Structure 1
Amino acid sequence: MVTAALIVNKGKILIAKRGKDMKLEGKWEFPGGKLEAGESFEECLKREIYEELGMQIDVLHHYDDSIYKYSDGVIRLMAYWAKWNSGEIKVKEHSEIKWIDFVDLNLYEFAPADVPFINSLQKIHLLF
């Protein structure tokens, strides 16, 4: 299982570009990572976002799942709404991060497992 955080701040959503030495280098994603043994999805997201971006987040609630078959196996990506509550953003594993408008999500080339979220997120942008 893999988690993804949909972090919204001031009406914009955070996306991250996969860096060197990462699978799918150069593709955009919603940041997150792999679930470790004994961890809840919420604990995983908090740990991964802190490790990758130096941000402390509150995980609010589950948004949606995506199942995608890559050449090396199938992943289930669990997306959760999250709120940035503290910490200074430090880009560690990714090559770049951006806060973008929901309507602009389709302008970026996302990792395949993240793609199913794009259309639905663009439709709900008016909530933010």
Structure 2
Amino acid sequence: MQPHREEREQAKRVTAAILMRGREVFIAQRPAGDRLALLWEFPGGAVEEGETPEACLMREMHEEFGIRVEVLSLFGKSLYRYDHALIDLWAYRVRWTGGRLRPRVHAAVAWVPVRELDRYTFSPADLPFVHRLRSELDTK
């Protein structure tokens, strides 16, 4: 008999951008055919081997939207288990520094007033950030 070995699933590190324009936030809808098809998210992507989360976010925003961003600060973290993976999502406040917005991957994008975020169906891992943004708005 072999000793019992506890296996720990490695969470996949993913980043998300909290890109504000006044009281509006930039969101993107995942494409049809995706595992999370047509759900809305704060855009970003998976951290590659040897890459920092900040570098990942800058790369992803350029690759997926054609814009350059400066990563300002960590906004929050969300750990969520989907059927296909355990996701460790790190959201950062970012500032748009250049480039012209040209979505290349997503089904749709939108600048949404924070108070209207509940009109969109977000991926579960992104929901804590929706709630935090709404909470911050309510305290102002």
- Identify the residue that residue 36 of structure 1 maps to in structure 2: 48
- Identify the residue that residue 5 of structure 2 maps to in structure 1: none
Higher Cα Rg, which structure: 2
**Structure 2 residue 35 is the aligned partner of structure 1 residue 23:** yes
Alpha-carbon RMSD:
1.4
- Where do 5+ consecutive residues of structure 2 fail to align? 1-12
Q: For 1:1-128, what aligned pairs fall within 5 Å after superposition?
A: 1-125=13-137
In 2, the alpha carbon distance for the partners of 1:55 and 1:70 equals 29
Q: What letter corresponds to residue 27 of structure 2 in structure 1?
A: I
TM-score, normalised to structure 2, is 0.87
Q: What letter corresponds to residue 95 of structure 2 in structure 1?
A: K
Offset at 1:118?
Answer: 1.3
Offset at 1:55?
Answer: 0.7
Taking a change above 3 Å as real, the CA distance of residues 127 and 38 of structure 1, as seen in their structure-2 partners, is farther
Offset at 1:126?
Answer: 6.3
Offset at 1:22?
Answer: 2.1
In 2, the alpha carbon distance for the partners of 1:54 and 1:20 equals 21
Q: What letter corresponds to residue 66 of structure 2 in structure 1?
A: G
Corresponding pairs, count:
128
Taking a change above 3 Å as real, the CA distance of residues 109 and 57 of structure 1, as seen in their structure-2 partners, is same
- Where do 5+ consecutive residues of structure 1 fail to align? none
CA contact (8 A) 1:9 1:83 kept: no
Using the aligned pairs only, state the percent identity. Answer: 37
